[in-house]
A and B are shown apart, each in its own frame.
Chain A
Amino acid sequence: MTDAPPSVVHVTIDGVEVEAQPGEMVIAAALRAGVHIPHFCYHPRMSPVGMCRMCLVDIDGGRGPMLQPSCMVPVADGMSVDTGSAATKRAQEGILELLLVNHPLDCPVCDKGGECPLQDQTVAYGPGESRFVEEKRHYEKPIPISDLVHLDRERCILCDRCTRFADEVAGDALIHFTERGNETQVLTFPDEPFSSYFSGNTVQICPVGALTAAPYRFKARPWDLDQVESTCTTCSVGCRVAVQSSRNQLVRYLGVDIDPVNHGWLCDRGRFDFEAVNSDARLTVPVMRDPSDDQQLVGTDWSTALAAAAQAIAAARPGAVGIIGGARLTNEDAYAWSKLARSVIGTDNVDAQLGDGLPAEVVLGLPGATIDEACAADVVLVIGPDLKESLPILHLRLRAAARRGTQVVELTAAASGIADYARTIFAAPGTAAVELARLLDSDDPLAHTLTHGRVVVVLGRGSLAESAQPTIDAAAVVRSRMPGATFLPALVRGNVRGALDMGLAPGILPGRVNLSDGAAVSKVWGSLLSQPGLDTTGMLEAAANGRIDTLILLGADPIADFPDRGLAERALAGAGTVIALDTFVTESVARADIVLPTSTYGEKGGTTTNLEGRVSRLGQKVTAPGTVRDDWMIAADLASRLGGDLGVASAEDLWREITTVSAAHADCTVEVLTSDAAQDGILITGGSIVADLGEPAEPPAVDAYALRLVAGRKLYDNATSVQQSPSLAGLAVGPVLTMNPTDMARLGLHDGERADVRSARTSVVLSVVGSDAVPRGVVAVPFNQPGGTVSSLIDVTSTVTDVAVEVRGGGR
């Protein structure tokens, strides 16, 4: 390291002396001092390029004032900046006149009109009239460059924002400048669409209407939009987002820049899945089986449905009520259901996870890390799902950290989407603990960094075809060999962390405490159960064996999402009464007896918690369709019908109660949550659960004739929120089996050929494609894709899933 640089420099901006950070660009220092310097290409989250020349200001670094681009000149002590000098104003007028010479004046039909930086800055800094009488540049208008994004090259001012984002931030350099000079244009490469998971960000940062998003084109004008700030719950990263509506319809989400989480970026699924909220297929009224109509699901009213639900719960044998799900709920909803289950129904059979995560005490009971801590670590060790597919913005954050020097390592059965910046260490399914120990015992320099450096482990279930045990075993190796390491749980579903924090897990109470540690909770809830209940796998097994009388699904679709489809199907068939609270008729809801329609994202307030444990507020923007209700209201109603009382009348009441029963949440009062300080969310630490990871088990023996199955999730899959969003539905890849080309050759298989894939359970037919991302002896297949169910291959009682792959008669 060199000598420490000065911590602050003094710069005079428009006559006012301000303090700036060394290395900060003049434009950023000016903005913090409240001086806006007009610009197009500059973006605070990307490296400067100095293309638009709009931010030229008079900068005097000691040799007299000179027009310099303020996005490229770092502050220096004693520097003087004049953003209003005659030369600056002349340059601004000149640049805007030049930017407009080829810009079509189609503002009245341009989606950007009304919120367009070019329009706004022309009004503020422009010359007032154009002297350009020649023919403007012409290109075909607009051309689709992907399924989601359209490009109008006539409007483009070539600021390099989208192309820089694609290359520098997203790592998908699929759009680029072509041609030269006056003919310069942004284009994709021939036959290669801009199929990036992050393409929507380019639309958001485009300073003109050159890039437009298919789901928003011609849907609204900016002055018709109303917006509220919220947090995205598509996955558990918790990106801050502006939810915008027009005429009570969600029309657009925009990323909001907060430092600890998303830096303004969103993934395309999170950005565009609002379409599902607007879907005509939404459940709008309660639905029940009609004995007089061949047991069809038919609409009914709330009192009938709730009475039937209450009766089914009341009639159940003790311990024979199970509640699965909760990740779609707000924290308040989850708390209400947690309280209903324990203090009114009297069951501890609650689980917000669907057998596809890690046990709640492992999620809550390991020393935690934040995303920022991961990005500042020496090494980030990923033992979990493909982050690019499951937690896309966490992937972007880690990618940026890797560019700054953090080493990212993935211990995985198949190379994932982060492999372009991470070092991939293969560990066949079931062997993560063994391979990690082997690495730590080796003379690889990484071993020393892992044991002696700042390490954050991103921990989650990498494959649904493998039980949680191998991951727990790997975590045990981390705990014993890398004592300084902290953990960032790679939870997948939106508010699963919040649901666990609220006690929607067997044996766990709100505030991350065990049943035995529930003194504070019992003061409000009354006496508590002493024995932990069943988790989702346990409940489904019990239901399949006829030991669950009433099964409640809180926005859960176990048939699609539980790793073992066979068990889920037997469970729903074997349960006495199935009550589902949901927004759509999913595969599981279609088998329910009583269906209660609920509100969803954008239709309700409250709070959510991201994978770090960061609580932030949700914004309600539109009113829910039909007669749907919030989940907590349904809980409160059921409680009174069951002779109890949740004692709350609003979501805010619920939060106040949470801060009294949970020591971890005590400081996060309603007042704190609604203050400006809560803009970035409030990180909840604390809780008394300590994970007992046990001793690593022997990895399952390898059958030399079998291939070991890896089943991971893709960003676009058969989830309702994707399939009910017309813009996203077609983007799912479908069930394709990926295997090592050497294995393919050994089995006589060719790319694109269809093959029989047989496990101990059943066999399915999948098309096969070869890739070196998958090592020999392993095959990978995406989970829950439209057009094929691989979860029927998986037996949840086995540690790993071995399959045989054979050429199918009939071939390609």
Chain B
Amino acid sequence: MTSRGEPVAHAPGFVANDTPRIVTSRFDYEDSYTLARYEATGGYQGLRKALARSPEDVHAEVRNATLLGRGGAGFPAGVKWGFCPPGTWPRYLVVNGDESEPGTYKDRLLMELDPHQLIEGCVIACYAVGLSQCFLYIRGEMAVAQERVAQALNDAYAAGYVGKNILGSDLSVDIVLHWGAGAYVVGEETALIESLEGNRGMPRLKPPYFPASIGLYGQPTIVNNVETLANLPWILDNGAEAFCQIGTASSPGTRMVAVSGHVKRPGVYEIVNGTTTFRDLIYGESMCGGIRDDNDLKAFVPGGGSAPWFTPDQLDLPFEASEIGPQGSMLGSGAVMVMDHTTDIPAAALTLTRFYAHESCGKCVPCREGGTWLEQILRRVVDGTGTARDLDLLMEVGETICPGEFPHAAVPAKGLTAKPFPYRMTTICFVGPSAFAPVHSALTLFREEFEAKVAGNTDMSVSEVVINV
């Protein structure tokens, strides 16, 4: 095993830096999660302003803010809201708090440290789209988040921010807490809806592509990520125009990024959307402060465990989806995992692939069977008993999951040019391709490390098999 370096001194949490703070503005207070602190720091002002306007107006404000979904797909929330078929009620809001993507822990902090901000965002969304009820789905393992959101919800009900005739208006919204049972795939919105309905958490068939037309209990349903909703109070309080002043036109505002791995200061950062680069994040003095022990950077995962990997060649790319996609990866869920030069690449790929193989719901054959097989082959390679043929086999099994060319980054030194995102897949959801993504990136960008592991091992052909009788 290679050296893992010194353990980080603290569990990764929020790290303040000098960018504007939209969703983390209260994170420095000890009592940031209380109603008193929330009200004392401008809390529920966005809701008050929203209620003074028409729902259509509020919806337009959010649409004008170009608030991109922070869950992974990056779809504009205001546009998604517009997919609800007109005249169909009831319609529901489902909050996706099942944050499970490896490396991602920003929503957890939002729920633990500022639950009222989320609740206010939920009520604003319900008002804007005419949603009668909100279901807040929190990942099963997040005990503190569950506790704090539950307490905040009780306080918000008591204070009249949730429930009947909110703040004396005609708006009545109930928020129901639901705790998950620990399945990664439930982060997929249709699987989350199945889980909410009490079924096995398995993704639904598409079409319909958006639950906005047919979702929870067969009704129009908006599924939004925690961070997405947490932006709403600020946008309604300060206006879409102010929001668009931050970041770029196509990716306005800020976004939270969780950094883990071999950096000096891992943690959650609020960064400027669209302009902050990976170099700023990883090497910036106010951010991660560089690689531990001033080691060399070997590779990093730019958007959660399922994203294809980047190398130092991509450090200067900004957090801007339209720039990341053509370079062969995605921004995903806002998680950056950094690997320094001591990293055993095949072992790192195995760690990620194992996760996705384990989290397959079992529905689609390529994911259920292929994911586990990938893990088995890769484990053999990592353990030093694999052969050169296994390396081809890994790619061929992967091609059954993702036919055609799989996206990857450019490595000019190795003559590799970028293959753009996205991939094609033979599965219903992205869990299957996610099991293959780390294998593909590792094997494409660092093939020599795999070849070193299998060097000297030969495949046994049939003629070489000796049967003792």
Using a CB–CB cutoff of 8 Å, the interface residues on chain A facing chain B are: 48-54, 56, 66-67, 72, 87, 90-91, 94-95, 97-99, 101-102, 131-132, 134, 157-158, 177, 179-184
Contact B362 A181 (CB under 8 A): yes
| Chain B residues in 8 Å Cβ range of A99 | 365, 369
**Chain A binder among B323-331, B339-347, B420-428:** B420-428
List chain A residues, Cβ under 8 A from B452. none
**A158 contacts B368, CB within 8 Å?**
yes
Instruction: Check B4 for interface membership: any CB of A closer than 8 A.
Output: no
CB of B424 within 8 A of CB of A66, answer: yes
List 5 tightest A-B contacts by C-beta distance, closest first: A94-B400, A184-B362, A181-B360, A98-B369, A182-B372
Asked if B438 CB lies within 8 Å of chain A CBs, one says no
Say whether A49 contacts B361, CB under 8 Å. no
B357, B359, B361, B426: residue with the most chain A Cβ atoms closer than 10 Å: B426
B183 touches A180 (CB 8 A): yes
* B201, closest chain A residue (CB): A180
Q: Give me 14 other A-B pairs in contact (C-beta within 8 A), A54-B365, A67-B424, A181-B361 excluded.
A: A50-B205, A53-B364, A53-B366, A87-B404, A90-B403, A91-B400, A98-B369, A99-B369, A131-B393, A177-B200, A180-B360, A180-B361, A182-B357, A183-B362
**What are 15 A-B interface contacts by the 8 Å CB criterion?**
A52-B365, A66-B424, A67-B426, A90-B403, A94-B399, A94-B400, A101-B369, A102-B369, A158-B362, A181-B357, A181-B359, A181-B362, A183-B362, A184-B362, A184-B368
Q: How many A-B residue pairs have CB under 8 A?
A: 89
Complex partner residue of B426 from A53, A179, A184, CB under 8 angstroms: A53
Does B376 count as interface, using CB distance less than 8 angstroms?
Answer: yes
Chain B nearest CB: distance from A681 CB in Å? 36
Q: Which residue of chain A lies nearest to B362 when distances are taken between CB atoms in the complex?
A: A184
- Provide the bound-state CA to CA distance between A72 and B207, in Å: 9
In chain A, what residue has the closest Cβ to B400? Answer: A94
With A98-B400, A180-B361, A182-B357 known as contacts, the answer to whether A50 contacts B428 (CB < 8 A) is yes
Q: From the candidates A56, A94, A179, name the one contacting B362 in the complex (CB within 8 A).
A: A179
Q: What distance in Å separates the Cβ of A162 from its nearest Cβ neighbour in chain B?
A: 15
Pair B205/A182 contact, Cβ less than 8 Å: no
Alpha-carbon distance A184/B371, docked complex (angstroms): 13
Q: Which of B371, B396, B400 contacts A181 (CB 8 A)?
A: B371
Tell me, rounded to whole Å, the shortest Cβ–Cβ distance linking A37 to chain B: 15
- Measured in the bound complex, the distance between the Cα atoms of B364 and A157 in whole Å is 11
Contact A180 B426 (CB under 8 A): no
Find B373's partner among A50, A72, A132, A158 (CB 8 Å cutoff).
Answer: A132
| Chain B residues within an 8 Å CB radius of A97 | 400
Determine whether B63 belongs to the interface, using a CB cutoff of 8 Å to chain A: no
Residues on the A chain within 8 Å of B396, using CB: 94
What CA separation (Å) do A409 and B385 show in the bound complex? 67
- CB neighbours of B370 from chain A (8 A): 98
Total number of B residues with any Cβ neighbor in A under 8 Å: 31
Contact with A along B347-387 (1 / 0, CB 8 A): 00000000001111111111011111100100000000000
Q: How far is the CB of A690 from chain B (nearest CB, A)?
A: 48
Q: Which residue of B lies closest to A87 (CB)?
A: B403
Q: Give A310 to B185 CA distance when docked, in angstroms.
A: 78
Nearest Cβ on chain B to A168's Cβ, whole angstroms: 13
How far, in whole Å, are A53 and B399 apart by their CA atoms in the complex?
Answer: 14
The closest CB in chain B to the CB of A56 belongs to B426
Q: Return chain B residues, CB-CB under 8 Å to A181.
A: 357-362, 368, 371-372
Residues on A with C-beta less than 8 A from B200 are: 177
Q: Is the CB of B362 within 8 A of A95?
A: no
A755→B354 CA distance, assembly (Å): 62
Q: How long is the Cα–Cα vector from A487 to B408 in the complex, in angstroms?
A: 68
User: Is A95's CB under 8 angstroms from B366's CB?
Assistant: yes
CA distance A99 to B368 in the complex (A): 10
- Report Cα–Cα, A99/B364, bound state, in Å: 11
Q: Which residues of B contact A183 (CB under 8 A)?
A: 362
What residues of A have a CB within 8 angstroms of the CB of B400 in the complex? 90-91, 94-95, 97-98
Q: Which single residue of chain B is at the shortest CB-CB distance from A49?
A: B205
How far apart are B445's CB and chain A's nearest CB, in angstroms? Answer: 24
How long is the Cα–Cα vector from A90 to B362 in the complex, in angstroms? 22
Closest Cβ of chain B: how far from A263's Cβ, in Å? 23
Please state if B369 and A180 are interface contacts (CB–CB under 8 Å): no
Q: Which residues of A contact B393 (CB under 8 A)?
A: 131
Contacts of A53 in B (CB 8 A): 364-366, 426-427
Chain B residues, Cβ within 8 Å of A182: 357, 360, 362, 368-369, 371-372
**Alpha-carbon distance A181/B367, docked complex (angstroms):** 8
Are the CB atoms of A91 and B426 closer together than 8 Å?
yes
A25–B404 alpha-carbon span in the complex (Å):
25
CA distance in complex: A51, B365 (Å):
7
Residues of A within 8 A of B399 (CB): 90, 94
Closest chain-B Cβ to A100's Cβ sits at a distance in Å of 9
Contacts of B371 in A (CB 8 A): 181-182
Closest-by-CB residue of B relative to A134 is B376
* Cβ contact within 8 Å between A51 and B364: yes
In the assembled complex, the CB of B205 is this many whole angstroms from the nearest CB of chain A, namely: 5
- A98–B363 CB distance below 8 A: no
Task: Give the distance to chain A from B20, nearest Cβ to Cβ, in Å.
Answer: 40
- Report A773 CB to chain B, min CB distance, Å: 26
A56→B205 CA distance, assembly (Å): 14
- Chain A residue numbers with a CB within 8 Å of B366 are 53, 94-95, 98
CA distance A48 to B369 in the complex (A): 21
Most buried by A among B200, B362, B370, B403: B362
Cα–Cα distance between A95 and B368 once the two chains are bound (Å): 11
Nearest residue (CB) in A for B431 is A181
Interfacial chain A residues near B372, Cβ < 8 Å: 181-182
Distance in angstroms between the alpha carbons of A77 and B469 in the assembled complex:
64
Q: Are B362 and A180 in contact (CB under 8 A)?
A: yes
Residue of A nearest to B427 (CB): A53
Most chain B CB atoms below 10 A, which of A54, A98, A131: A98
Q: Which residue of A lies closest to B389 (CB)?
A: A131
